[in-house]
Each structure stands twice: as structure tokens, then as C-alpha cells.
Amino acid sequence: MKKQFLDSGKIVGTHGIKGEVRIDPWCDSPEFLCAFKKLWLDENGTEFIEVKSRPHKNIALAKIKGVDTIEAAEKYRGKVVYINRDDINLAEGVHFVQDLIGLEVKDADNGRVYGKISDVLRTGANDVYEIKDADGKTYLAPVIDDVVKEINVNDGYVLIVSHKTMAMKNPTMEPIIREKPTIYRVSQRLCAQTLNGSIIGRAQKSGVLEIVCHQLRDYAFDKHKRVDDTPYGGGMGMLMKAEPIALCFEDICKQIGKRPHFVYMSPQGKTLKQQRLRELADVENICILCGHYEGVDQRLLDEFIDEEISIGDYVLTGGEIPAMVFADALSRMVPGVLSNNECFTEESHFNGLLEYPQYTKPSVWRGKEVPEVLMSGHHANIEKWRKEKSIEVTALKRPEMLEEYNKK
């Protein structure tokens, strides 16, 4: 049975001083939600508000009739808003996602029931049906014309073409219905485990520095806690939405009582250099945004980001690893993190040269001996040898660095 009133967004806060509210849309776009003059506050349609709405970035700003102050608008915070399906005429072949959930998915050739639609995933290229069978296993099927042959909401089923039929046209094609892979959302835990161990973890315990990982999904207000959506203009992949990031950053600002320097890890940023790390080590608070998917809504970058940093001219699946690289490299520059400042002043890149060769026990290994000068105990000669070797190594491995070094 079709629901008459469909949940379409959530009031997440107020805007300005004249009683406007911010609505996070759960539908295709803020523009879609702004087309409605009446929004309902319960799924039974017993209470409604009259609104005049306008899109603003990736949310909808709504002025509720009779609400003219922040205090009055605040009472609506957290309320889910519903639309009446009678207020819109969908184009032929277009369906509300909520009408698709629960439909049986059948084989168009033999009537086999694969399961029921449990969710509709938006990938950018095409939607994908998430199908759960009677045993609880989850499968995925692409929503494309070659696969989906009929959608019958009234009778409660979807017909899809079998793999056998499709294989007659293309024998090498992969199965249409594929088991959903298990994806463990470990990025936050991975960051925390990596940055809470060894030298960096010891520094945090001693109070020299503090690293806090924040989960953006905690600032997403749709029922699926989604932080991404399809890009306007089309294209592959998904984009991170602006509002969850903005809300998270604003919350961080409130927690620490000031605005931190906001860095976005991006392949479009300036390549991270040791000199920049030395400069940023003097900044009291730094917030790092881990990029993901196809990137981040440009409006968020324009409005909030102070600096974009890259760890190299290549692309990764996410920004968690670059963020950890940056956080680790930066933390080492903070006074008190390492037991001796000389630990990093003699390392590669710090002074513009690569580090000299290092040796440890035994003094002879497989016929190869440690340079005699390092066992001489003559500190001046050892220092001279290390400087010469540092220049040799740099000239051999990174001649462009030596060229820059000689300009100083």
C-alpha cells in the first residue's frame, strides 16, 4: 500500500533572525522540496505548516507562516517534514523511492523471486537496487533499461531480465544480480588506531598534543546518514555534501572556542613539503578534511577551506591515508613529541638535503664493514663525513633538491 505522506527532509536548525529554518532534503534536491507550499509534520497528515522556501547551497531555507523569531523557529528543530503525494505529478516511469522499497524482484523469464528491494542506491551513473532475499543475503542489480523490464508498484513487483537472456547477447558479461560485498567502515577507527600508537600516541598521553577523529555521518540528518550525493550536470561517482562538513567544522569551532586552520587533503593541492610542515607546526589548531568519492562540493571549499594539500601527484580512494601522513609528519615537528629536537633536524628534507647513510651492529655484516670514521669517536670528523655523504646522496637521488639547496 502506498504511503500518502512521504518523509522528504528534516529541519536541522534556524537561519537568520526572522524565523527561517534550514531543511536538509531527503529527496533529489533542495529545489524539489522548495516547490511545495505545504509541508506536513507527521506521516498521518494531521499537522502541517505553510512555507515559502528557497534553495541555499545544498539545503532548503523555509519561512514558516506565523513564525517570525528565532525562538519560535527553534521549536521546529529536529522535526521530519513530509510531502503529500497528491501535490505532485511524477513523470511516466518515475517513482518515489519509498514506493519501491519492499517490491519483489522477479526474473522476467521464469518468474523466480530474487528477493525484495531494501534500498535504492544512487551511484551517479545509474541507480542500483539493493535486494534482500529470504535468507537475509543482500544482492545488487543495476537500474538500467537493459535490465529492468517492468516496475509495477500497484501489484508490488519489479521484473528484471535474467543473466541467461543477457548472456545470449554478450556471453562474456558478468552476472546481473551480484552479491553485495561486505564493506567495513573503518576509516575513523583506522585513523584513531594509527595516530594513537607509538610516538604520536605517547605524545598525546603526555598532553603535548591532541588528535581527535570526527565522524561526518554524525552530522548527516537523513535517515541513511548519507554524506554524499550525485553531482549536478551528471558524471561518474558521488560528491561529499557541503552541509555535514560545515556542521562538523562549526561544532569543532564551538568545542575549542576558536576557528582552526582548515586543511583539505586533495590531489589538486600544493605538494606537502618539509618547509610547510615547519610553518604549520606553529599553528595552534589544525582541522583536516579527508576527501572521498569524486571530491567535495565546491561551495564548501570556497566558504571554509584555508588550504589544500596533496601528498603527491597520484589519486587514492580516499583522503584518510593522506590525512594520517600529514598528521603524523606535522606532529613530529611539535616540540616535546620527539625526545630530542635533533631527531628531526638531521632527517631528510629538514635542512634541504637527504639524510646521510646510517649503520648499526654488527660492525661487519656479510663482509661489509661500517665506515671507520663512524667508530672513531671523533665527533667533528663524524659530522664532516655525514655532511659530505648527505650531499652525495642528494646529488644521486634528488639532484633538483641539491640545486635548490645550493641557491640558499
Residue 65 has a pLDDT of: 94
113 C-beta neighbours (distance < 10 Å), count:
13
Superfamily per CATH, domain 187-331: SPOUT methyltransferase, trefoil knot domain (3.40.1280.10)
Q: Residue 123 — very low, low, confident or very high, per pLDDT cuts 50/70/90?
A: low
pLDDT in tens, 319-336: 888 999 999 999 888 877
Average pLDDT over residues 295-310: 93
Cα dihedral angle (140, 143, 148, 152), rounded to 10 degrees? 100
Look at residue 267 and tell me whether its pLDDT is greater than 60. Answer: yes
Look at residue 223 and tell me whether its pLDDT is greater than 80. Answer: no
Alpha helices (runs of H) in 128-197, residue ranges in sequence order: 163-169, 187-195
- How high does pLDDT run on average in the chain? 84
The residue written with cell numbers 505522506 in the block is 5
- CATH 3.10.20.600 corresponds to the domain 5-87: no
Residue 181 has a pLDDT of: 46
Residue 208 has a pLDDT of: 80
The three-state secondary structure class of 401 is: helix
User: Which regions of the chain carry the CATH code 2.40.30.60?
Assistant: 5-87
Look at residue 142 and tell me whether its pLDDT is greater than 80. Answer: yes
93 C-beta neighbours (distance < 10 Å), count:
7
Buried b (16+ CB within 10 A) or exposed e, 226-264: bbbbbbeeeeeebbbbbbbbbbbbeebeeeeeeebebbb
Supply the pTM of this predicted model: 0.53
Look at residue 10 and tell me whether its pLDDT is greater than 80. Answer: yes
Closest by Cα among 310, 382, 312, 395 to 353: 395
DSSP string, 27-86: SS-HHHHHT-SEEESSTTS--EEEEEEEEETTEEEEEETT--SHHHHHTTTT-EEEEEGG
Handedness of CA 379, 380, 382, 383 (dihedral sign): positive
Computed over its alpha carbons, how large is the radius of gyration of the chain? Answer: 29
The residue written with cell numbers 589519486 in the block is 315
Q: Cell for 47?
A: 499537522
User: Which regions of the chain carry the CATH code 3.40.1280.10?
Assistant: 187-331
362 C-beta neighbours (distance < 10 Å), count:
9
CATH of domain 97-179: 2.30.30.240
Identify which has the larger pLDDT, 26 or 168. Answer: 26
Average pLDDT over residues 178-185: 44
Average pLDDT over residues 5-10: 90
User: Which regions of the chain carry the CATH code 1.10.1270.20?
Assistant: 357-407
Residue 168 has a pLDDT of: 45
Average pLDDT over residues 58-70: 92
Residue type, 5: F
Q: Using omega within 30 degrees of 0 as the cis cutoff, is the peptide bond preceding 362 cis?
A: yes
User: Which regions of the chain carry the CATH code 2.30.30.240?
Assistant: 97-179
Question: pLDDT above 90 covers what percent of the chain?
Answer: 40
Q: Cell for 159?
A: 521484473
pLDDT in tens, 19-62: 999 998 888 788 989 999 999 999 999 999 999 999 987 789 99
pLDDT in tens, 321-376: 899 999 999 988 887 787 654 444 555 455 788 888 999 999 999 999 999 999 99
Out of 185-199, 275-289, 391-405, least confident range: 185-199
Residue 395 has a pLDDT of: 92
Superfamily per CATH, domain 357-407: tRNA(m1g37)methyltransferase, domain 2 (1.10.1270.20)
Look at residue 246 and tell me whether its pLDDT is greater than 90. Answer: yes
Look at residue 309 and tell me whether its pLDDT is greater than 90. Answer: yes
Q: Are 22 and 12 in contact (CB under 8 A)?
A: yes
Q: Which long-range CB contacts under 8 A does 339-347 form with residues at least 24 apart?
A: 346/386
